[in-house]
Amino acid sequence: MRGSIRIGSVRGVTVRAHWSVPLIMLLFAYGLADRTLPAYAPGLAPVAYAVAGVGGTLLLLVSLVVHEAAHALMARRAGVRVRDVTLWALGGITRMERPATAPTAFAVAVSGPLASLLLGGAVIGGALGVHATLGWRLPVAVLGWLGGINVLLGVFNLLPAAPLDGGRVLQAALWWRTGDQERAQRAAARGGQIIGMALVLVGWLAFVRGAPGGLWLMVVALFLAGTAAAERRWAQLALTLRGVAVAEAMSTPVATGPDWLTVDRFLSDVAARTRHSVLPLLDFEGRPSGVVRLRRLTTVPSGRQQTLPVRVLATPVSQCTLAAPDEPLTTVLARLGAGGGLPILVMQGGHLDGIITAHDIQRLYQRNAVRKNHGTTAPGGDAGRQGIAT
């Protein structure tokens, strides 16, 4: 996620924080210090509430890390490659490859909510213990609030709506029962759209009746519905492109450029002779070294264009999505979410065979959708599948 920085790691899994995290943490700390804590433990100095509010908010941040780390560690234990964990305003995102089996997907999905529920129960138990033995109202208030938030987080995430963890659990169950991962994903995403819009209505009714938290629920619900719609589109794309090999989608021959040219030479000698907006770069030995976007080159000041090598502005090949010609296209597309992105570089024997852009994927999708709607079989596809969902 853009705008995030590394804040640490959990057993080798990198943890990042988006720029929105300090903002939302500040709002939580203010709400704790200004309303929640004084209502439960009145009569203390404002500085005590401020310190307790900040402390409770930092513990909430740790709780979010625990939730996402449970996903990441369970996935890594099951052999799923995990890229990183990113915290942001609406929770956290664990970037990983798609699980290969339904049981693995179920275990990865359910681990986060279980971690939150267990942590919430333990913290509430700690609050009860402090209240019974020491009677310190301020720590009890902080621990009670933190435990309640974790329980709420666990329960909310178990709603059967993608992209929530409960939606992933539902998807895994449907995948196991039907054997069709894409259709299971479509069903879970449809649930996410329905529940998301229902929560928008609930949030609006709560807000107009004087509950400020209703506005926050509306924001979360709109994000839920929007993400679910995107997942449903992806599932339809994967269903339409099922059985298609990478070689069928790639464009050849590939327009490339030398990575040792300066920006001005590249623009005049290479970019001016191609209609492409993204070009792979080759080193002196003819091997791909990265991908450069021409729009980025045009932003370089004219005074630097004569001295700056174009490879400095390129995305290194180590950060690109690579594929073999005989790989299933849907398997490669699934890797886009775990790092890299479009275009896809098709490699064989260390050399560039072809390239796949968003235009190539859209063209192939439309062709296969038309064929399947007419009951014919696209190359490598399945007969009788339905086309674009409406």
Residue 68 falls in the annotated catalytic set: yes
Q: Which pair of structure tokens corresponds to residue 314?
A: 């390129």
67 is in an annotated binding site: yes
- Asked if 117 and 147 count as a contact pair (C-beta separation under 8 A), the reply is no
**Cα–Cα distance measured from residue 93 to residue 168, given in angstroms and rounded to the nearest whole number:** 13
Relative to beta strand 278-282, strand 344-348 is unpaired
| Number of Cβ within a 10 Å radius of residue 209 | 8
**Cα–Cα distance measured from residue 338 to residue 317, given in angstroms and rounded to the nearest whole number:** 15
DSSP state of 270: T
Q: Using N-to-C axis directions, what is the helix angle for 181-208 and 165-178, rounded to 10°? A: 150
**Cα–Cα distance measured from residue 183 to residue 189, given in angstroms and rounded to the nearest whole number:** 10
Set 68, 182, 231, 248: catalytic member: 68
Q: In what order do the strands lie in the sheet with 82-88?
A: 4-10, 13-18, 82-88, 91-96
Relative to beta strand 257-258, strand 278-282 is parallel
- Asked if 149 and 143 count as a contact pair (C-beta separation under 8 A), the reply is no
| Number of Cβ within a 10 Å radius of residue 301 | 8
Q: Residue 199: name the closest of 228, 170, 174 by CA.
A: 228
Q: CA angle, 228 as apex, 225 and 233 as ends, to 5°?
A: 130
| Number of Cβ within a 10 Å radius of residue 330 | 20
**Cα–Cα distance measured from residue 169 to residue 108, given in angstroms and rounded to the nearest whole number:** 9
Only one residue has tokens 């502005």, namely 313
DSSP state of 251: B
**What is the DSSP secondary-structure string of 274-304?**
---SEEEEE-TTS-EEEEEEHHHHTTS-HHH
Only one residue has tokens 């269903």, namely 239
Q: Measuring CA to CA, how many Å separate 361 from each of 115, 176, 189, 352, 387?
A: 39, 28, 22, 18, 15
18 is in an annotated binding site: no
Q: Measuring CA to CA, how many Å separate 105 from each of 80, 117, 136?
A: 10, 19, 43
Q: Which residues are catalytic?
A: 68
Binding site residue list for Zn(2+):
67, 71, 165
